[in-house]
Structure 1
Amino acid sequence: MSIIKINAITVPADSGDELGKRFAARRDSMEGTEGFEGFELLQPTDERTTWLVITRWASEQAFENWRTSQDFQRSHAGGGAPSEEAPKKPVGMSAELWSYTTSVTG
């Protein structure tokens, strides 16, 4: 059973493309993170301005270990890699974290 974390990020109407570019630039940054199983960035196809970042984890502990790591702090402090000269301004206006587990029925 996987642990699913969904980060619902609301951005200004004209900032979604920038959010997508930042995630694309960091696509491989989670490789090798213990317990990380994958992620998707979902772009709204209607008038909504909330993008969904869906991550899968082997356990709640694996997610918490990453969330409290220096890698997490660096990646969320300015949206960029440590080699960048100036931190980027956050794109999101708000974010909400949702938690789920996978479930099989039938």
Structure 2
Amino acid sequence: MSIVKINVLTVPEEQRETLEKRFANRAGTVDGSDGFEWFELLRPVEGTDTYLVYTRWRAEEDFQNWMSGMGQAAHRGAPKEGGAPGSPQSERPKPAATDATLWTFEVVQQAGPKEG
């Protein structure tokens, strides 16, 4: 069965909009990856400053292949707008999250809505 990767991000309230914009700007970077099945960015509603980034993959190998290729580029972030290589403006933007932990799960049961 599939595996799930959940990136647990601690994001201060003043960085929430920044984080969400960065994910919106990267939309589609994982969608065409071999073995990719699902993505969700989960915003906390109350009582926590923890975002969850949920991805589902056909197998661990598919996730590792993405991480060593397109995932590496996506996590590096784009240079700041208007920055020439080597200039202060070309440096990576400061991370929006103050902490990150990656959880891995195997899908052992699943259900969806009944059709019809």
Amino acid of the structure 2 residue aligned with 1:80: A
How far apart are the structure 1 equivalents of 2:49 and 2:97?
A: 10
Deviation at 1:47, TM superposition (A): 2.8
Deviation at 1:75, TM superposition (A): 1.5
Change (3 A) 1:58 1:84: farther
Query: TM-score of the superposition, structure 1-length normalised?
Result: 0.85
- Partner of residue 56, structure 1: 56
Are positions 1:23 and 2:23 aligned together?
Answer: yes
Q: Secondary structure at the match of 2:13?
A: coil
> Deviation above 6 Å: which 4+ runs of structure 1?
none
Alignment pair present for 1:72 and 2:71: yes
Structure 1 unaligned segments of length 5 or more: list them.
none
Structure 2 unaligned regions, length at least 5: 84-89, 111-116
Identity %: 41
Name the SS for the 1:40 alignment partner.
Answer: strand
Q: Which amino acid aligns with 1:103?
A: V
CA distance in 2, matches of 1:80, 1:50: 23
Match of 1:92 in 2: 97
CA RMSD of aligned residues (A): 1.9
The aligned length equals: 102
Output the TM-score relative to the length of structure 2: 0.79
The residue type paired with residue 27 of structure 1 is: A
